[in-house]
Structure 1
Amino acid sequence: MAIPLSYNVRNLRLRKGLTIMTALGIALTVATAVFIMALLAGLNRAFGTTGDPLNVLVLRKGSNSELAAGGIQREAMQVLKELPGVTKNSRGEPLASGEDILVIVLPRKDGTGEVNVTTRFLTPLGIEMRPSVKLIAGRWFTPGQREIVVSKSINQRFARANLGDTVHIGNGDWTVVGIFDSVGTAHESEIWGDINQLATDFERTVYSSVLLRATDPLAAEALKNQANDDQRLELNGMLEPDYYASQTKSGRPIRFVGFIVAVIMAIGSSFAAMNTMYAAVAYRGREIATLRVIGFSRPSIVTSFVLESLLLSLLGALVGIILMLPFNGMTTGTQNQVTFSEAVFSLRMTPGVIGTAIIFAVVMGLLGGIAPAWHAARREILAALRD
């Protein structure tokens, strides 16, 4: 015969002070875990959803990022844009964009210091090949002019990133003429400018990367293989989504530190739940003995106390998740471990994050409830009645 769940609910209500304190401890642990998982989910979304499967990114062989890439000669660029499978726009131009990456320093708006920011120099075709990026204010840069367009996140987080502001790059000042929104992708961490003006200012005759647009997915695979197999060019081609997925190294420090913090806090919360349940066993000795006398078995008592601990942990999980809801979608940043510039992203409380948090709380409840429940079931009836 099972003990009714209402019995556990009543006991938690009777011990309001202890119940609230334990639930708050679990809530803080769950909130911390949710915060860390939301950070990682946002970072993974920023890099994992960036790129078009029809786009092929070409780097110098041996390079794993655009910033660290060696130079791709302009002659190689001409060969790449004429490969079969490269699509053309309505004007008959092959969709191929030679690009370069620089890191500049901008001050934060809140005055907390300066941060490295990725600046991408590309052609108007490069903008055309990224249709998910939308202009939301101002205009795109004019080729041959010292003009830049900043992402919405850069505009919100950094000084000198408003329309009309100037940023010193290389030999001159570049004017902010537009703001774009890349819908939470890795381009939210970037500033865009004209590649030809950069080449003039820095006397650069090479690109750090070339982006090609294929006619279809099969052509994209073929373009990637052609770039890899041509021994004359010594290039490394990859699908654009694969490249950005490989850049999630930025999340490794967060994942490591977060795991350590979550484990330490989980152990503490489990002991708090265990202490609460042990206190309940000591306080309700006669009550437990009475349950035995009227016919409830030891397994029923174990199950009842474990359920009570689970109710406590689920209450804490609910409070912890509610505490984190205002932070969902908050923009933050971390250092990109590949480019050493700031990667901007938003916290994402996905269904997976919430589900994992609930499982996390259930595990804490089980760890905190099993030992007290076993202790309660093992007590002799006469000894408990005499307490």
Structure 2
Amino acid sequence: MLKQIGAVTMINLRSIPQRAGLSLATIISIALVTGVLLGFLAMSNGFRQTLSGTGSENVAVILRAGSQAELNSGLSRDQVRLIEEAPGVARNAEDQPLVSGELYVIVDGIKRASQTEANLPLRGVGEQAVALRDGLTLVEGRMFEPGTNELVVGEAIIREFQGFDLGETIRLGSNEWVVVGIFSTGGSVFESEIWADLAVIQNLYNRGTGVQSIRVQLTTPTAIDALREYAENDPQLNLDIEPEIEFYANQAGGTAVLIEFIGWPLSIIMAIGALAGAWNTMYSSVDNRMREIATLRAIGFSGFAAAIGTMVESIILSALGGLLGALMVYLVFNGVSASTLGSGFTQVVFSFAVTGDSIITGMVLAMIIGFFGGLVPAIRSAYVPLLAVHRS
């Protein structure tokens, strides 16, 4: 039986040049289906990696209870002071608590590629903010001077938005700012932010002395339990406290799922069209080889061997389409910088990431198309009448 299947399969594959146009159309259609799916998965993976790779287990993010996002939160200066005295809070060499009250406002930026406006996060920070970001380094310029309209911006902002190059003066809202520094955090979401002095932001945006979030350096990751207990026992502290790494991982989930929710239905719709193309190709293959199949049946080959040979041809064509689609997406999109709206209603800059898992997913979809596209033609080839050997 294996010899029969091998012989029929080789006959089928050698006859592909006779149907080069239909076969190539099938390969290209399946490549497009795979490419579309992998494109959306690469976008989702890149966005998820950027946010999930942000933060530290040794840093806690504190918001007002029930806020879920910084924009919805509001905390007073008194609450910041209480957190500074909480157990589990690390201190620097000068015995100052490593606590950073921060303010988060939305400003407009212009995308370099499309010249359209998009929301960007302008974060007001204090002197401890840098110490609470692992791996943050100034790659150009210097840090802003407290009390001035100076900005430092993340490298991702420079890549995707115009007007933020070092030394430029830019108008955000009704205020003019000077870019004095560019920082890197190794590709984390912080690179999609613009930083300025907290007191200046509070004054210009009429926020008083309040903040929206508090970041805390913990003595150990488990010290967050003592911090939570401290907050629960103080009626002035109605707070949500979670590790920074979990905070950003949760922020990533919703947008990444939304991207995939768009990508999968579109890919499935396209897959139906590719399935029709594969079906047509395989029917043509069976029709063109009707006499050969009947001859093989007459000399003792089984219908099962003929059916498997047809299925193998269909799956091979689909696999070639899947590989072509994966290669195109990898060459064109992998590592390409883009931005999309994050959970804070501001742009998050990330890089497309074509992963091994997503390639496997794309190949599985291609093989499914090949299987169902070849199933009915395979059944037909198994029941080719022996009298077809006399067809002219």
Q: 1:372 aligns with which of 364, 372, 377?
A: 377
For 1:1-387, what aligned pairs fall within 5 Å after superposition?
A: 1-2=1-2, 3-4=5-6, 5-69=9-73, 71-110=74-113, 112-169=115-172, 172-203=175-206, 204-228=208-232, 230-248=234-252, 249-324=254-329, 325-336=331-342, 338-383=343-388, 385-386=390-391
Distance 2:114 2:323 in 1: 36
For the residue of structure 2 that corresponds to 1:15, the secondary structure is helix
Give me the TM-score of the superposition, normalised by structure 1.
Answer: 0.94
CA distance, structure 2, for counterparts of residue 373 and residue 120 of structure 1: 62
1:177/1:290 CA distance change after superposition, 3 Å? same
- Residue ranges of structure 2 left out of the alignment (5+ in a row): none
CA distance in 1, matches of 2:345, 2:239: 24
Query: Residues 314-365 of structure 1: CA distance to partner in whole angstroms, max 9, x if unpaired?
Result: 11111111211221111111222x3222222111001111111111111111
CA RMSD of aligned residues (A): 1.9
Map Cα deviations across residues 26-52 of structure 1 (whole Å, 9 max, x no partner). Answer: 111111111011011111112222111
Cα distance between partner residues in 1 of 2:241 and 2:75? 12
Q: How far is the alpha carbon of 1:228 from its aligned partner?
A: 5.0
Higher mean displacement: 194-203 or 154-163: 194-203
* Alpha-carbon distance between aligned partners in 1 of 2:298 and 2:248, rounded to the nearest angstrom: 65
The more displaced of 367-376 and 222-231 is 222-231
State the Cα distance separating 1:123 from its structure 2 match.
Answer: 1.7
> Residue 47 of structure 2 aligns to which amino acid in structure 1?
L
CA shift digits 1:45-89 (9 cap, x unpaired) = 1222211111110001120100111x2111111111221111122
Give 1:184 deviation, angstroms. Answer: 2.7
In 2, the alpha carbon distance for the partners of 1:230 and 1:295 equals 87
CA contact (8 A) 1:119 1:190 kept: yes
Which residue type is aligned with residue 165 of structure 2? N
1:197 positional shift: 2.3
Distance 1:111 1:300, change over 3 A: closer
- SS where residue 207 of structure 1 aligns? coil
Residue 184 of structure 1 aligns with an amino acid whose one-letter code is G
Contact 1:228 1:237 in 2 (8 A): no
Greater Cα shift, 73-82 or 223-232? 223-232
Deviation at 1:385, TM superposition (A): 4.4
Equivalent position amino acid for 1:139 in 2: R
Structure 1 unaligned blocks of 5 or more: none
> Which secondary structure state, in structure 1, belongs to the residue aligned with residue 377 of structure 2?
helix
What secondary structure sits across from 2:129 in the alignment? helix
Structure 1 residues 272-303: Cα deviation after superposition (integer angstroms, max 9, x where no partner): 11110011011111111122233332222222
* TM-aligned CA distance change 1:226 to 1:310, over 3 Å: farther
TM (norm. structure 2) is 0.92
Residues 209-249 of structure 1: per-residue CA shift (max 9 Å, x gap): 00011111211343245435643311111111221122232
**1:310 maps to amino acid:** I
* Maintained 8 Å contact 2:339/2:348: yes
Name the SS for the 1:106 alignment partner: strand
Instruction: Give the AA of the match of 2:284.
Output: A
Give yes or no for contact 2:339–2:349 (8 Å, CA) kept in 1: yes
SS at match of 2:195: strand
Q: CA deviation at 1:377?
A: 0.5
Contact 1:269 1:364 survives alignment (8 Å): yes
Structure 2 Cα separation of the partners of residues 43 and 302 of structure 1: 44
Give aligned-pair identity as a percent.
Answer: 35
CA distance in 1, matches of 2:203, 2:371: 66
